[in-house]
Amino acid sequence: MNNINLLKEKIESIRIQPGAYYDAVISDIEYHQKQNSIEDLLCIMFAGASRMYPELFERLSQQILENDSFQGNIEYQYYYYTTRGSFFRYIHELKFALDCFEKANTLSFQLNDPDRILRSFIYISTIYSESGDYEMALHYSEQGFNNFNTVKDSSIKTDFLNTFGMNLYYLKDYRRSISVYKKAIEYYRQIPSYESYINYCICTLNLGDILTHAGEETDAEKYFSEGIKLAEKYNHYDLLITGLISISDFYFKKGDLNKAYQFQKRFVQHTVEANKARKKIELSYDKHRMKEEITTLNILKNQNENLTRRLDNLYSLIKEADETQLKRTNIMKELDLAIRNGEIQTFYQLQWSLEQNKFIGAEALARWVKSDGTVISPDLFIGLIEETDLISALSLQVIRQSFSLCKQITEKIDDNFVMSINIAPYQLTHDDISEILEREILYSGISSKNVEVEITERTFIDNNPKARKQLQALSDLNIKIALDDFGTGFSSLSCVNSLPLSTIKIDQSLLWDAEKEVRNATLLSSIIHLMKELNFQIVVEGVETESHVSILKGLGCHITQGYYYSRPAKREEILKVLEI
């Protein structure tokens, strides 16, 4: 427990001047990577949250997670999540920051530590403020205020008042904000050596900004000057640069162009000095390994979703990602074996011509049929392999099976029957797909007029010249080319018109929406009319009801595909349907 108390004291001392601590010890931490204690790692990460390169931060984080004492120690976990939250806040990943601070808040109550409880509320309130949700920011300020009187540490109380005052400022309640900030400064000035605290510097600069908005320019100038003086004295680079910009703008608006110019010059000078200091730090480790940035997902796509929906903590995400990768690897191995053992079978969904009143083609669909008879939908495995060479091996099996069926149909039932094959973007850029299809057409004995390839918009969205060249080669062989799922992505008429397409397959969502609302029906009608004007053959997917058929007949659609006429079926079932 003594070590933990010492860690708390050390973190609080680092909080006064985190930049100075970071500059002093980062080289030593990097040099002794294998020997660093978990306390040392937590301290350097805490101090460097706003200075560290993402790759270095993640590497040190991983060392902490792998430490045997981490999982069983709530104190370590509290500082870990607090530090990660600060880092994510600095790089403007506020959703991740909020999640980490909420975890720290939970841990602070488990520790039953009033200091940490109040700090965690400060962090959460700050994130909501920066996200623009001032109502929630004030809610957590109020939660923090409930713990205010239980805290004896004046620096924590001042930090709380700083945050609360900023919330009032965002709500344009300048008078109350100024009152709260002046109270915070009173608390700070009761602390020995208060001037060295980075948060005191923040407080003075913030108060200067708020006084400016309130029209109290004399006081604003006083606090701006004090904040910049302290930032220069204690090397608070980021605060200094921000403060110089603010005070330069302040004098510019007052009409004192000479002072505005002088502060701009100081801004340039200190920016250069800050960059030099950072370069010295960068030399202590391999700079080139630090250039990767964190890739994050915007999990909350809809900003109006309930605020109670949060990300799982980052450790869980990393663990989940590892489990997903392991699962993916296992499925890939299993699928590779399935392809070799012939478990990939081709199912076919027939296409119905509304003009000819008969089946005139089919789309070949891969299905994974396991030895126990279980059929696995392509949705569950195609996505895993469509950017690997496994897609090429699987596609070749589908091509051979579907061309064999097509040969049987064209000889006995319909000489003009068309077999549609899905081709992945990977195949157009990595395989000579035109040569493969030409060879398989020759071997099977069918004609190129009986073959159609289906591509998606991803094929041309990056304007890949090799993919375009392959499509032209297919067209030169008189193989039809269909654009699948039209209307669901980034459909561009200019791209559609520039590619050698013969068929547009309209996504089922447009048909289903057309049944619900007149405007949607007008949209579908316009698309079909336009594509017909451009001489494309139209196929509409997702036809499931008599109402769907009626709508499409009224719009003059050429071909339909869906459960109303045909569900995906095996070779034998397709032959029975066509012979009837």
**Amino acid at the residue 579:** E
The tokens for 6 are: 């010492």
Quote the pLDDT of residue 261: 55
Token representation of residue 509:
């969502």
Is 56:290 a contact under the CB 8 Å cutoff? yes
Integer Cα distance of 78 and 105 in angstroms: 8
Quick one: 173-284 is in which CATH superfamily? Tetratricopeptide repeat domain (1.25.40.10)
Given a contact cutoff of 8 angstroms between Cβ atoms, the answer to whether 565 and 349 are in contact is: no
Residues 391 and 385 sit within 8 Å (Cβ to Cβ): yes
Instruction: Pick left, alpha or beta for residue 172 (phi over 0 → left; psi -120 to 50 → alpha; otherwise beta).
Output: left
Residue 281 has φ and ψ, to the nearest 5°, of -65, -40
Is residue 422 within 8 A of residue 402, CB to CB? The reply is no
CA distances from 78 to 44, 52, 111, 195 (A): 15, 20, 9, 28
DSSP code string of 152-212: --HHHHHHHHHHHHHHHHHTT-HHHHHHHHHHHHHHHTTSTTGGG-HHHHHHHHHHHHHHH
By CB atoms closer than 10 A (0-12, 13-18, 19+), residue 295 is exposed
Q: Does domain 345-579 have CATH number 3.30.70.1450?
A: no
Q: How far apart are CA 125 and CA 257, in angstroms?
A: 38
Is the distance from CB of 55 to CB of 291 less than 8 angstroms?
A: yes
What pLDDT score does 462 carry? 53
Element (H, E) at 454: strand 451-455
Q: How far apart are CA 503 and CA 539, in angstroms?
A: 7
Q: Give the domain ranges of the chain.
A: 173-284, 345-579
In the chain, the N- to C-terminal Cα span, in Å, equals 83
pLDDT at 68: 83
Matching fold, domains 173-284 and 345-579: no
Residues 569 and 422: their CA atoms lie apart, in Å, by 17
Per-residue pLDDT at 286: 39
Which residue is listed with tokens 């296409």?
351
Would you state the pLDDT for residue 190? 82
Instruction: Please state whether the predicted TM-score (pTM) of the whole model is above 0.75.
Output: no
- At 361 the pLDDT is 94
Residues of the chain with pLDDT under 50: 1-4, 270, 272-319, 321-322
- Can you give the pLDDT at residue 315? 35
CA atoms within 13 A on the CB side of 357: 0
Distance from C-alpha of 216 to C-alpha of 21, rounded to nearest angstrom:
36
pLDDT at 241: 54
Q: Which pLDDT score is estimated for 288?
A: 37
